[in-house]
Structures are given as C-alpha cells and as structure tokens.
Amino acid sequence: MHYSVALNITTKKLHDRIEHLLSLADVAVNGRRPWDIRVHNDNFYHTVMQCGSLGLGESYMAGWWDVPQVDEFICRVLKANLQNKVISVWDFLYYLQALLMNQQCVKRSYTVGEKHYDIGNDLYERMLDKRMIYSCAFWKNAATLDKAQEAKLDMVCRKLELKPGMRILDIGCGWGGMAQFAAKNYGVEIVGITISREQLALARQRCAGLPVEIRLQDYRTLDEPFDRILSLGMFEHVGYKNYRVYMEKVSCLLKEDGLFLLHTIGSNTSQKTTDSWIQKYIFPNSMLPSAKQITAAIEGLFVLEDWHAFGADYDKTLMCWYDNFQSNWHDLKKKYDERFFRMWKYYLLSCAGSFRARNNQLWQIVLSPQGIPGGYRAHYK
C-alpha cells in the first residue's frame, strides 16, 4: 500500500475515534455550537491520541484547533470523563517520576517560582485584582473581582480571629496582598514567605511602611513561633510526599492557642501527579491534594475546626482573570508572543471549565493544635 494512502487511512481512523469520544461529551468536530471544536490541522488527531492532555494543549498552542468557548469545551470533556479514556505515555512517565523522586524537595521547590511566578509582574498586575491576589475570590456578596477578593481576605482574617499585636505567618505570600490587608485592617505583624524573586521585590515595595517582613524562603527552613498561620493557594506546590512534613512544620511553628487556615484547590480523588500539560507549561511539580490526603496529613497534629468549600467561585474568578488578560493583551503583546497568548488563554479557560465541571474543588480549612474551648464559630455564614 502506498505510504500516503496508509497515512490517510490512519488519519481517518484517528478522526473517527476522536469524533466518537467527543460525541460522548456532546462535542462535535467542526460543529457550529460554542463548545464544538474546529480542526485546522489533521496532525491534531494523532497528537491527541498519542499524548492525551499534553497533546490537546500543545496542539491548541500550535493553532491546530480552535473553539469559541474553551472553558465550556473543557467542562464537557471532564464531565464525560474523557481524560481517563486517553492515557498517554507522558502520563505514565510523569507518574513514574513522581513515584521515584521528591519533586518538591527544598532544592526543587523554587522551580515553580522561576517558571511561573517570575514570568513578569506586568502580566499579573494586568490580570489580577488591585491587590494582586492569585487565589480564588469569594463571590457570595460581591459584584466585582476587587470586592470578591477583599471579601475573601476579610473572611480569612475573621476565621483566624486576628487581634492587634498578633504575629502572623503567611506561607506563600504572593505579591503581599494578604499581608498588606491584614496589617492595615487588623493591626497584626506579618512574616510572608515566597519562592519567587519577582514576588519578593514587588511585595516588599507594596508593603513598605507596614509591620510586614517578606522573605525568599522555603517553609521547611522556618523555626520561630507564630500566633496564627495562613496559606492561600500554596499547598498545591507541596506534593504528596511532603504533606505530612508540611503539617508537622506548621504544628511546630504554631503556638498552642493558635489557629491555622489552609486555602487550597482540592482533587476529588487522591493523586500523585497533575495534568501533564499543566505540569509542563504552567505549574511544574504541582499537585492537587484530596480530602483524604489532607486529613491523613493532619492526623494527630491538629483538630479540624472548620471545612468550607466554595469551588464554584473559582470558575467566576478565572473568567475575570481571563477577561482582564484579554483586555490588556494590547499592552502585554509587546513582551509576550502569540504562542504565549494561546497558552495562557488555554490555561485560564481550561481551569475555569474544570471548576465548572466540579472536577476541581476549593477548600478553606481551619485547624487548631488542641481544639477551641467551647467550639469554633464559623465566620462566613
């Protein structure tokens, strides 16, 4: 058989296979609905079948396919559980690597800072709210991103029952938005740690004149007491091999009458790796914890006082970030190319679709070393 004929037959088989899989999610190839994909390059079919999620994202970055609403397309794919119907060699390799190595050891912990958070403060300034909070907002009584993030920060402070003069640790302080808010509004002293040099510089600038100290430091190297500890959107970088180590360190740093608030994205199932495309292009060495993994890590160390789930709010937060990113692209494109635009668009919208499908969760968990006398009162109802 002539090579070109054989190639055409193979492509047709792959086309039919993918068309069938997508039909299970009510997605059509070259259809007319906002979640139907338009294929521009037949290499798309082979790449997706061979590389799974990694191939889907890379082929989008290459412009081999488009869809009017990436978020809704991904939502439907995840609801139909298609991600488990195409397992690639890359998925196996990432899994094997996670088993054999501690990818989030102290030496490697700064990798995500260099690869993601150090991309450029200009990008995040234009994408996030005015305080540059890079974690899920709380939309219950808010109409704008700024107000929703302010509501989240205030809720965190109330959950921690902050009082003037307290010394607070912010693990993964980002650009200092939480530290700045708590110092200004609750009269506390903050130590914030980050693994990003770009975050460090801007956080110090934004918190100048406040009782806030920002450090470039891994959490495992801390050794000093705190009245309260919080972590907003950092636990996703800890890794399953370090969950217990993380909780033991927090336990050692927290005073006996203290409180610890953990704000993290969560997975419905226990995993040892993350999505292969996210791993390669967005958050290297990242991993979403399950409820089971978190409770196992805190057993014997903390009393679970409160578990607050509001994952649906992350869909709206991500869509706001995308709108900001897109509306500011005319300035950002002077520094970032078209491939970056498609990568970042795919990142934000595919994550929004994942939360919309309830494939990912968002939890705020309040823990105490010995239990609050008389019980803990929830501060968000």
Cα four-point dihedral sign 53, 57, 60, 66? positive
- Return phi, psi of residue 147, to 5°: -70, -35
Q: For residue 92, count other CB atoms closer than 10 A to its CB.
A: 12
Question: SS3 for 201?
Answer: helix
Q: Name the helix (H) or strand (E) containing 263.
A: strand 254-267
Tell me which residues are annotated as active site.
351
- Return phi, psi of residue 112, to 5°: -65, -30
Instruction: Return the DSSP state at 223.
Output: -
One-letter amino acid of 220:
R
The whole-angstrom separation of Cα 17 and Cα 23 is: 10
* Helix spans in 160-264 (H): 177-186, 197-206, 243-253
Sequence-distant (≥ 6) Cβ neighbours of residue 162 within 8 angstroms:
168, 182, 186, 188, 228
Label residue 174 exposed, middle or buried (CB < 10 Å: 0-12, 13-18, 19+). Answer: buried
Tokens of 126: 């234009």
Sequence-distant (≥ 6) Cβ neighbours of residue 309 within 8 angstroms:
361, 362, 363
Beta bridge partners of 303: 368
Q: For residue 339, count other CB atoms closer than 10 A to its CB.
A: 11
